[in-house]
Amino acid sequence: MPHKIKGMTRSLETPLRRFTLMLAGEDALADTAIEPPVGLPHERFLLAYAHPKQALPLAPILMLGLGLPQEQVKNRVFACLQAIHLHATRDHLILTNPALLALSPADGSALFTAAKPLLAEDFGTTPINPHHAYWFVELGLAVTEFATLNTHSTDQAHGRNIDWWSPRDTSLEGVAKRWRKLQNEIQMLWHIDSTNDAREEQGLPRVNSIWLSGIGALADVHVPPAIQEATALIGDHLLLTGLARYLNKPSMADKPSSTIDFAQPNNPFIGAFAWLNKPAEIWPQLSTALLAGQLDELIVIDFPSAEPRQRTITRADLLPTKGFGSLLRSLLFWQTYTPPSWQDLLESNS
């Protein structure tokens, strides 16, 4: 199933009706790697386009995604803090996916209140908690050394040995050690906190550590053309919501596939960029729209390797090339034809 640069000829005055769909990527770790890659492939694509070696400024974009005003965020460097659970194995600690913590607003507030004095003392500024699972601290002039740390998001590091993924020194020595000292102090504080005792009684994992990541400023954000040119951003990940607010673009939460209808007038989905939790569920809507001529092309961005791959799917790619006879017959009876499946699409040209 070949994919084309352009699916059909249109006048220069009529823009292509396009929908862009990005799929999340995973690390492709080389056996010879001496340090972790800088962010997940899709994190690099969204925030550091054409700057793959740059530290990812996740924190300020997450802050915008959580509703903080841009005036409060811009021209300042922030780091993200998250309450986590470290699982002990025989010889190392593994970061558990924070989603499995089931951290309630009450638990998050209580733990933040307990840790707040320690955080304020070491960072020299009062941390903020716009969300019970995401806290932020400004790295001002008094603590610029923390801004030099090399960090990784919990999305990238969970399920892995923290020895490899914990904050590391870059240009200054001893900063990571200073962070680990503060981390240990918070671990001891939370160990005796009644919040954790109550969680244990409920069969929930104890919150036994804190994670630092996403250091950067809005000025460090470099978004890809696919985001810059999009008419709207669709998806409920905080990074996408934050980018929408940063670029002043309409944002729509991750919608069920049944609500995405390309036949409606003044279609809000034409020209949109989507990062969906269950992308396979929208494939029937997309393939139908392409076959019916309601959509000219689908751009699929995925990450089979560390580098992004962009493919263009058009109506011609979905029409049968054999078994139906002539092209005319396929055009007349496309309703009876089953287009390639979502899995076929993922596996083609891989």
- What's the pTM? 0.88
Cβ contact 299:19 at 8 Å: yes
The bridge status of strand 134-138 relative to strand 18-22 is unpaired
List the beta strands (DSSP E) in 278-341.
297-302, 309-314
Residue type, 222: H
Residue type, 174: G
- Could you read off the pLDDT of 131-164 as tens digits, one per residue? 999 999 999 765 678 999 999 999 999 998 898 8
- Could you read off the pLDDT of 254-284 as tens digits, one per residue? 777 667 888 877 788 899 999 998 888 889 8
Instruction: Locate the domains of the chain by residue range.
Output: 18-24+223-347, 55-220
CA-angle at 337, arms to 336 and 341, nearest 5°:
135
Beta bridge partners of 216: 78
Interatomic CA distance for residues 103 and 83, integer angstroms:
9
Structure tokens at 110: 């209580």
Beta bridge partners of 233: 251, 273
- Helices 194-201 & 105-123 angle (0-180, nearest 10): 150
Interatomic CA distance for residues 92 and 89, integer angstroms:
5
Over range 81-96, report the average pLDDT.
92
